[in-house]
Amino acid sequence: MKSNTRKTLDEFIIERQDDFQYSTGELSRLLNSILLAARVVSYKVRKAGLIDIIGAVGTTNVQGEDQQKLDLYAHNIFVETLVNREIVCGIASEENDNFITIQGLDQSHNNKYVVLMDPLDGSSNIDVNVSVGTIFSVYHRISPVGTPVTMEDFLQPGVNQAAAGYILYGTSTMIVYTTGFGVNGFTLNSAIGSFYLSHPDMKCPEDGNVYSVNEGNYVHFPRGIKNYIKYCQEEKENRPYTSRYIGSLVSDCHRNLIRGGVYLYPSTLKTPNGKLRLLYECNPMAFITEQAGGRASDGNRRILELTPTELHQRTPFYCGSKNMIDKIEEFIANEEK
């Protein structure tokens, strides 16, 4: 199909508006604001190397990680784009210690949604021209409309998500998102700034032959995960599996979603809760993966059912093809017996 005859994302959002639980058009407008910011960030990411936007800023975020110039740039663009659009009452971001309260133009607190985001995922890859992404998660607030947003609006279990998605600034720029009615992927035609439906109704294969893990941490992994990695490498049936690790969650999960495979970020001796953040990395990726027929687990429990207690909380994370996650849980359970 010629690209200009494909459905655009704007057309798709309007067509699907009735799917939304609170169908007032606000969630559609929210998604459109995210797309606008994504286009701006994509444009900037494509210029990395040409203008002075690569490298560290010299500051660290609340988690003690070095902040890159593009981390902060992306954070600011998404926040600025969402503020004053009368949709979002609060934003939580990897790059901000606390959540940001957003008031309407008349200083009211009537907006209904909160957004949690990882503005730039895989940012240590920027300087070496490897794919990065943005991850976002959207909830309907639970505090009463008209009052300032509260921490409990952000600390909802992932099953409550109204929408989640990621933008991948890869060989092309793509957005993949769900509102709980399957997963669809759109590719940006950067010459004209439109996203076109390129991956309708995405399905994660039930099985795969790729495992993605930072094997440099192997000696610190729990026994069950060490055993699973050895199982992946065994010469038996359809194994050994292929090892692929980009070090950019969005890119690794995107590949696994399309081709089948599994992403692992286990607990280690140094980091008992793993590295990835539940609210703006794991929950949105888990929602998308489940909606595509895959699974996401912390090793014992479904990621989407965990009750968050902190904004920047971490969790071990296993995500991808359903049968592969079942297998990982089996290996973990065997060691815990």
Per partner kind, with CB cut-offs from 5 to 8 A, the member of ligand AHG, Mn ion, none near residue 114 is none
Q: How far apart are CA 18 and CA 21, in angstroms?
A: 8
Does 248 interact with ligand AHG (rule: CB under 6 A)?
A: yes
Peptide bond connecting 240 to the previous residue in cis, omega within 30 degrees of 0 = yes
DSSP state of 84: T
Q: How far apart are CA 278 and CA 294, in angstroms?
A: 18
Q: How far apart are CA 38 and CA 188, in angstroms?
A: 10
Asked if 229 and 213 count as a contact pair (C-beta separation under 8 A), the reply is yes
Nearest distance from C-beta of residue 64 to ligand AHG, angstroms: 11
Nearest distance from C-beta of residue 118 to Mn ion, angstroms: 4
Does 275 interact with ligand AHG (rule: CB under 6 A)?
A: yes
Nearest distance from C-beta of residue 1 to ligand AHG, angstroms: 33
Point out the residue whose Cβ comes nearest to Mn ion.
121
Does 55 interact with ligand AHG (rule: CB under 6 A)?
A: no
Is 2 annotated in a binding site? The answer is no
Nearest distance from C-beta of residue 294 to ligand AHG, angstroms: 17
Q: How far apart are CA 35 and CA 14, in angstroms?
A: 14
Does 118 interact with ligand AHG (rule: CB under 6 A)?
A: yes
Nearest distance from C-beta of residue 42 to Mn ion, angstroms: 16
Whole-Å CA distances, 171 to 42, 46, 168: 11, 10, 9
Q: How far apart are CA 108 and CA 193, in angstroms?
A: 33
Nearer to ligand AHG, 198 or 212 (CB): 212
Range 35-49 burial, b when 16+ CB lie within 10 A, else e: bbbbbbbbebbeebe
Is 19 annotated in a binding site? The answer is no
Is 189 annotated in a binding site? The answer is no
Does 121 interact with Mn ion (rule: CB under 5 A)?
A: yes
**Chain CA centroid to CA 213, Å:** 17
Nearest distance from C-beta of residue 26 to Mn ion, angstroms: 27
Is 94 annotated in a binding site? The answer is yes
Tokens encoding 208: 């795969």
Q: How far apart are CA 178 and CA 166, in angstroms?
A: 10
Contacts to ligand AHG from residues 199-218, by CB under 6 A: 214
Question: Which listed range, 120-128, 173-181, 201-209, 219-227, lies at the site for ligand AHG (CB under 6 A)?
Answer: 120-128
Amino acid at 201: D
Does 153 interact with ligand AHG (rule: CB under 6 A)?
A: no
Q: How far apart are CA 110 and CA 144, in angstroms?
A: 9
Is 72 annotated in a binding site? The answer is no
Q: How far apart are CA 93 and CA 173, in angstroms?
A: 21
Q: How far apart are CA 286 and CA 297, in angstroms?
A: 8
Question: Which listed range, 42-50, 80-88, 121-129, 169-177, lies at the site for Mn ion (CB under 5 A)?
Answer: 121-129
Does 267 interact with ligand AHG (rule: CB under 6 A)?
A: no
Does 67 interact with ligand AHG (rule: CB under 6 A)?
A: no
Per partner kind, with CB cut-offs from 5 to 8 A, the member of ligand AHG, Mn ion, none near residue 275 is ligand AHG
For residue 100, the SS3 value is strand
Does 118 interact with Mn ion (rule: CB under 5 A)?
A: yes
Contacts to Mn ion from residues 66-95, by CB under 5 A: 94
Asked if 247 and 291 count as a contact pair (C-beta separation under 8 A), the reply is no
Is 214 annotated in a binding site? The answer is yes
Q: Which residues contact Mn ion by CB under 5 A?
A: 94, 118, 120-121
Q: Which residues contact ligand AHG by CB under 6 A?
A: 65, 94, 118, 121-124, 214, 247-249, 275
Known binding positions for substrate: 121-124, 214, 245, 263-265, 275
Known binding positions for Mg(2+): 94, 118, 120-121, 281
